[in-house]
């Protein structure tokens, strides 16, 4: 239903009841206007980039629901935290039902939950690689597919997917992680074309090294091979150093906020100075020079 207030500000009030079969008819009406951009769902909001993003979105006026696998995660900083494991269909379905029961709508989905895996590509079992894809790729598909019927009904929605600079450059000793982010790049850009007719846009955010718990939470290969010990240790030192100098999660959160609120979103947003530089180099430096520079930067023999 549309109405105007005394200042002529147009409000679109959507009765939550009308939007969802699961919704509670007694609950509030969500009033959408410029100062209330709506309801945001941020996966992986217990720490790092997700946490900073949830706080930034809340400051920008969104009503924010964050997730963590830990059911006991505190509702702190004014955020509503809900339990969700993105690798579990039932958990994702319940998450979306719970948000809809509370608000009746979802205007923004930030697919942030993710994890890394550091080691030679050959050093992970297929099961370990599949487990990584289940979080970083199929987790994104699960949550997106669960939210899309609501966004289509609304005729409006924005999805921001966390990629990485490793989603568009090679990443030795992060090959499997980089593969998940390359997959997210292809998925997101293609999905954006499919969803435009429904008023839904998809954007990618590409951070470089960011100071979060990411490094502490990195999975390690489950079938180590001695042959890679020296190169892996060398890369580990490079990564540690780069992480120390990395961006703060707030820098990435600011970029995610832009991707979430730009009237016409770009397809991809490099987050932070380093990511912007890498993005430019990838586009404009000849492939052979880029290849050499990447090996040098990572301490690999050129």
Ligand X SMILES: NC(=O)c1ccc[n+]([C@@H]2O[C@H](COP(=O)([O-])OP(=O)(O)OC[C@H]3O[C@@H](n4cnc5c(N)ncnc54)[C@H](OP(=O)(O)O)[C@@H]3O)[C@@H](O)[C@H]2O)c1
Residues that bind ligand X (CB under 6 A): 43-50, 68-70, 84-87, 112-115, 135, 162, 164, 207, 209-210, 212-214, 217, 246
* Residues 42, 88 contacting (CB under 8 angstroms): no
Tell me the residue length of the chain.
Answer: 302
Which is nearer to ligand X, 32 or 135 (by Cβ)?
135
Which is nearer to ligand X, 29 or 242 (by Cβ)?
242
Phi-psi map region of 299: left, alpha, beta (phi>0 left; psi -120 to 50 alpha): left
Give the C-alpha separation, 73 to 82, whole Å: 8
- Residue 60 CB, nearest approach to ligand X (Å): 19
CA distance readout (Å), 257 to 46, 140, 194: 18, 19, 23
What are 136's two structure tokens?
């970083």
Phi-psi map region of 191: left, alpha, beta (phi>0 left; psi -120 to 50 alpha): alpha
- Residue 108 CB, nearest approach to ligand X (Å): 16
- Residue 267 CB, nearest approach to ligand X (Å): 17
36 φ, ψ (degrees, to nearest 5) = -125, 85
The residues carrying an active-site annotation are: 46, 163, 177, 181
What are 126's two structure tokens?
């297929």
- Residue 241 CB, nearest approach to ligand X (Å): 13
Which is nearer to ligand X, 20 or 43 (by Cβ)?
43
Q: For the chain, where are the alpha helices, taking DSSP H only? A: 16-19, 48-59, 89-103, 126-136, 138-154, 175-195, 229-244, 249-261, 273-284, 287-297
Which is nearer to ligand X, 63 or 142 (by Cβ)?
142
């Amino acid at each position: 239903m549309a109405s105007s207030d005394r200042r002529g500000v147009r409000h679109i009030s959507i009765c939550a009841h009308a939007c969802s079969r699961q919704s509670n008819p007694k609950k509030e009406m969500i009033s959408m206007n410029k100062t209330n951009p709506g309801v945001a769902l941020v996966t992986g909001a217990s720490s790092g980039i997700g946490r900073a993003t949830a706080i930034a979105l809340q400051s920008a006026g969104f009503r924010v629901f964050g997730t963590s696998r830990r059911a006991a995660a505190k509702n702190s900083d004014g955020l509503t935290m809900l339990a969700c494991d993105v690798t579990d269909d039932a958990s994702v379905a319940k998450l979306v039902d719970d948000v809809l029961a509370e608000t009746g709508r979802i205007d923004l989905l930030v697919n942030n939950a993710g994890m890394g895996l550091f080691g030679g590509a050959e050093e992970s079992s297929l099961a370990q690689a599949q487990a990584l894809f289940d979080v970083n790729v199929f987790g994104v598909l699960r949550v997106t597919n669960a939210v899309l019927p609501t966004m289509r009904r609304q005729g409006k929605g924005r999805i921001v997917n966390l990629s990485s600079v490793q989603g568009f450059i090679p990443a030795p000793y992060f090959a499997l992680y980089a593969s998940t982010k390359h997959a997210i790049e292809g998925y997101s850009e293609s999905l954006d074309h499919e969803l435009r007719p429904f008023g839904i846009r998809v954007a990618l955010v590409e951070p470089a090294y960011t100071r979060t718990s990411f490094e502490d939470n990195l999975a390690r290969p489950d079938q180590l091979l001695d042959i890679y010990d020296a190169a892996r240790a060398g890369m580990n030192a490079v990564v540690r150093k780069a992480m120390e100098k990395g961006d703060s999660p707030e820098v990435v959160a600011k970029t995610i906020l832009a991707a979430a609120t730009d009237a016409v979103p770009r397809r991809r947003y490099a987050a932070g100075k380093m990511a912007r530089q890498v993005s430019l180099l990838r586009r404009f430096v000849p492939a052979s020079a880029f290849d050499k520079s990447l090996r040098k930067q990572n301490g690999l023999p050129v």
